[in-house]
Amino acid sequence: MSLVDPDLQLVVVAVLLAVFAAVGARVALLGVEVAVLTASARAAIQLTIVALVITAVLDSDGLSLLFVAGMLVAASVTSAQRIAGWRTAVWAGLAVAGGAVPVLVLVLASGVVPFSGPAIVAISGIVIGGAMTTSGQAGRRALDELRVRAGEFEAALAIGLDRRAAGLEIARPSAVQALFPPLDQTRAVGLVTLPGAFIGVLLGGGSASEAASAQVLVLFGLLAAEVVAVAVALELVVRGRFAVPVTALR
């Protein structure tokens, strides 16, 4: 059973949805209408290319793992751009990998899901994507907070706190906000939303209990990866691994 057929009707509806989002941003003066359209175009192009590549990748466990490594690199660059620019991709990559890799190793090595190309790519994409989003948001929020509250940072240093302790005191509450969406998603699953893993198992012919089991695994793994990614990103920010152009943070 196919949820969506890749035909002309799909293309038309997808274009209309992207335009609708851009118009909404324009009317509300959000200033992101160009970003909405470019992001939509990139998504369409990237997914088309991935669909062509992934057909061959899924037949080989080795190629699937190589594809996952490419995901990690792309996620690191994307997260770095959100925080402080692509030149900090190595540090952003530590946050993404720090959250995603332990979860993927546990899930795949335990045999809970089969060690096969489709399972490797599907689980990895979900977990890495979540770690990328939350680490980028947490790092950006923490960095902004330190810049805006540079005076408070200096005051914390003046009363005897070291750089790390002072930075955490100021930036932690803001960085933690990056976890609110995934926490809300976890709390509301089944009541408000039926996420992709649940629907995917049902469409693949699985039972409702199998779908629920798969979704629990994905949600718990995703939440674990996101929490660790946020913690690592915050730690790297307060330790000065991302550029903070204020004299107090030199």
Among 57, 80, 96, the domain boundary falls at 57
Do residues 163 and 52 share a domain? Answer: no
The winner for highest mean pLDDT among 39-43, 167-171, 197-201 is: 39-43
Q: What local confidence, expressed as pLDDT, does residue 244 receive?
A: 53
Q: What local confidence, expressed as pLDDT, does residue 80 receive?
A: 94
Q: What local confidence, expressed as pLDDT, does residue 122 receive?
A: 85
Q: What local confidence, expressed as pLDDT, does residue 174 receive?
A: 92
Q: What local confidence, expressed as pLDDT, does residue 231 receive?
A: 95
- Under the banding of pLDDT at 50, 70 and 90, the label for residue 188 is confident
- Under the banding of pLDDT at 50, 70 and 90, the label for residue 248 is very low
Do residues 26 and 129 share a domain? Answer: no
Do residues 84 and 51 share a domain? Answer: no
Among 42, 57, 72, the domain boundary falls at 57
Q: How many domains does the chain have?
A: 2
Do residues 70 and 32 share a domain? Answer: no
Q: What local confidence, expressed as pLDDT, does residue 78 receive?
A: 94
Do residues 53 and 66 share a domain? Answer: no
Token readout for 191 is 């009541």
**Poorest-pLDDT segment among 74-83, 119-128, 241-250:** 241-250
Q: pLDDT per residue over 8-30, tens digit each?
A: 888 899 999 999 999 999 999 99
| CB-based contact 229:98 (threshold 8 Å) | yes
Q: Distance between CA 84 and CA 236 in Å, rounded? A: 12
Q: Could you give the angle at which helices 117-148 and 33-57 cross, rounded to 10 degrees?
A: 150
Do residues 32 and 88 share a domain? Answer: no
Among 26, 57, 88, the domain boundary falls at 57
pLDDT of 67 over the 80 cut: yes
223: containing domain = 60-249
CA angle 30, 132, 202 (to 5 degrees): 95
Own/partner long-range contacts of 84-87 (Cβ < 8 Å, ≥24 apart): 84/139, 84/143, 84/242, 84/243, 85/243
- Under the banding of pLDDT at 50, 70 and 90, the label for residue 204 is low
Q: Where are the alpha helices (DSSP H) in the chain?
A: 8-27, 33-57, 61-83, 89-109, 117-148, 150-158, 163-176, 180-188, 196-203, 208-238
The pTM for the full model equals 0.80
Average pLDDT rounded to a whole number, residues 224-237: 95
Please state, for a pLDDT cut of 90, what percent of the chain lies above it.
45
Please state, for a pLDDT cut of 70, what percent of the chain lies above it.
86
Do residues 98 and 170 share a domain? Answer: yes
Do residues 83 and 171 share a domain? Answer: yes
Do residues 46 and 109 share a domain? Answer: no
pLDDT of 215 over the 80 cut: no
Comparing C-alpha atoms, which of 139, 164, 172, 183 is closest to residue 239? 164
More confident residue, 148 or 244: 148
Q: Hey, how many other C-beta atoms are within 10 angstroms of the C-beta on 75?
A: 27
Burial class (CB in 10 A: 0-12, 13-18, 19+), 102: middle
- Under the banding of pLDDT at 50, 70 and 90, the label for residue 51 is confident
Do residues 146 and 245 share a domain? Answer: yes
Token readout for 212 is 């629920």
Q: Distance between CA 242 and CA 156 in Å, rounded? A: 20
Do residues 130 and 235 share a domain? Answer: yes
Q: What local confidence, expressed as pLDDT, does residue 247 receive?
A: 42
Do residues 89 and 199 share a domain? Answer: yes
pLDDT of 238 over the 70 cut: yes
Q: What local confidence, expressed as pLDDT, does residue 5 receive?
A: 65
